[in-house]
Structure formats: structure tokens, C-alpha cells
Amino acid sequence: MDIPLLEPITNAFVDHSTPEAFAFSFFCDQCGGEWRSAIRMDDPCMLKPPADPGIIDMWREGRYRTAYERSNLDAAYEFYYCQECGRRLCVECYCRSETDTAEICKDCLLKAI
């Protein structure tokens, strides 16, 4: 049974993974600014993958899933969530003055005025 991957935290993301390492980019839902995940390589302390090609594919899929889900979680801390429009935004698109207490982006705040 295939378990689908979690939805990416932003509307756009790119997979930069190679056979040796996993990396992903996530983009601000407003300006498209990029945040790139850490490059996650196979741990050299891990056991070597099995020789059977079918098992290698399953092993690699598990490593990929773990790297993607960690990167997706990291991206959740890099982008602000607007409770009004539901977009994930970079600090430049979200940030307002320190006196603003609403958990909404600049665009939604301007629409409310």
C-alpha cells in the first residue's frame, strides 16, 4: 500500500534530489521567493543498501520520503501562514510593523482597512 507524501507546505516546490542526496526548494506563495532545504545525504553510518534491485528501490523510497518530510517541516518554520488567505509567505511579504497583532499578511491587512 503506497502512502502518499504530505502536500508541500507552499503552493510551489522543486525537487533537486540526486541519487546521492536529497534537496528541495519551496517558494513564497506571493512573490515566489525561494527557500532551499538542507542537502540530506545518506548517513555513512547506516548499513549499506541491500543488493536486490526491488529492495533497493523500497529502501531509496523510504530515504526520500524521510528527507522530503523533514524538509517540508523545516519549510513550515521558514514561511508565515496567513490566517485570512491561507497562503504561506516569506518574511518580506508577511512582515508588518511590530504593533500589528493580527496573524494576517500585509495584503489581507490592507484589504481590511
Distance CA 20, CA 13 (A): 20
Rg of the chain taking only CA atoms, in angstroms = 18
- Judged against a pLDDT cut of 90, whether residue 13 lies above it is answered with yes
Task: State the pLDDT at residue 105.
Answer: 86
Strands 34-36 and 88-89, by their bridges, are: unpaired
* Rounded distance between C-alpha atoms, residue 62 and residue 71, angstroms: 14
Q: Is the pLDDT of residue 23 over 80?
A: yes
In a 13 Å sphere around the CA of 80, the CA atoms on its Cβ side amount to 18
The band of 10, judged by pLDDT with boundaries at 50, 70 and 90, is: very high
Count of helix runs (H) and strand runs (E) in the chain: 3, 7
DSSP assignment letter at 105: -
Arithmetic mean of pLDDT, 48-64: 71
Report the DSSP beta bridge partners of residue 34: 27
Position 51 scores a pLDDT of: 66
